[in-house]
Structure 1
Amino acid sequence: MTSKRLRRGQRLPPQERRSLLLEVAAGQVLEQGVLPIGVEELAQAAKVSKALVYRYFPETHDLYNALLERSLDQVAEALDLAVDTQDLAAAAGDVAEAYYRHVARSGPLIQIILRDRFMMGHVSLRAAAIRARVARRLAHKARAAFGLDLRETLACLSIGMTMPEECGRLAFQGELDLERGALLCRELVLGVLDVARRRSLEADR
């Protein structure tokens, strides 16, 4: 990811300045790999004052929620379209690939923010709702196909979605070919669905 930088004294509309601050912060989060990043370091990298950073993000968690919501918004439309695929296997594969390609392109920002202890109990309601919407729609589709308990179905999907995350991270770092990674994450997610199918058959015996 190549983050833009503000020139000192550069006058920008508030929304554009906020967007540029988020780009700089995203680059720092991806480089550091853990939260939080230093506000002073962010201000220096963006060539603004700490006071301006706090003007846009009064609480430190506000910054990470803004990054999280922006990333989820970028990927949510593609995921929604994928879930609408009629066949469960095709839907799961399309969701996995859409998420994989987002991570491969933009980096594992969503994983870093959601899984860092610093954000425990501080993820915004909007971010949580965006994330849950696609997962629940896919889970209901899987539950209808297999008849598993919803909680167990969600657990299977949660495990399955770690695969495009990891494949995407490797592709982002240049350790995995982009197209081979897309095929791999589809195969892995279909493997999880096969486990769910066999669990369903065992439960019916």
Structure 2
Amino acid sequence: MPAQPRIAFSSFPSSSDLQYGVWERVNSRILGDSSTKRVASSSTGVTHHALTAPALATAVLAKPVLPKPVLAKPVLPKPVLSDRLPGAAPRGVWQLLAANNRELGRSARAYPSFREALSHVAEIREAAAQLALRVDRHQHLGTWFWIAEYGDEPVITSARFFGSAAEAAKTATGAVLAIALAAVDELPRSRPARRCQGDPARENSDTAPW
């Protein structure tokens, strides 16, 4: 059977976990900078592109501003924001991986439970054709990133920054195509401190937080 993209989940014991901190820093740079540009783009001259998934294959990023399409009312349940989770609570994120394990994108939010993450991933996969992709330039770094939104809610972000808008858009296109075809891992990858052999709560992924 040929290799295919997959969605992998990772869990962390708390927000103080070092690896979770790495995810959160990248996430905040993308979402924080993007939310600033939503208000300031008209006065600062920041290039902003909004593209619908079906048109991405032939889109040309030539105009500085493209109109954002009006999407149907979103039905995705809003996951708990990472900064609203108690500091001591476990949390998890997911990654969209190519067949060669290269990271294509990642969740825009952290989740309080594996079941909630699985449910949200299923909703995103079903809505893949309706996702709107925005390619933005970081105000301070000068590099490019992308965000996939359903309605006005970010659901997927780029895993890294890019040297050009075209490169970011190409990766975003691949991520949208891949997520609909991806296999979904049945269990999360837990940090060693979270593994507890013989603990019924850890063995039941439907009831355990992570």
Question: Is the structural similarity TM-score above 0.5?
Answer: no
Quick one: higher RCO (CA 8 Å, sep 6+), 1 or 2? 2
Instruction: Provide TM-score, normalisation by structure 2.
Output: 0.27
Q: Which is helix-richer, 1 or 2?
A: 1
Q: Which is strand-richer, 1 or 2?
A: 2
Instruction: Provide TM-score, normalisation by structure 1.
Output: 0.28
Bigger Rg over Cα: 1
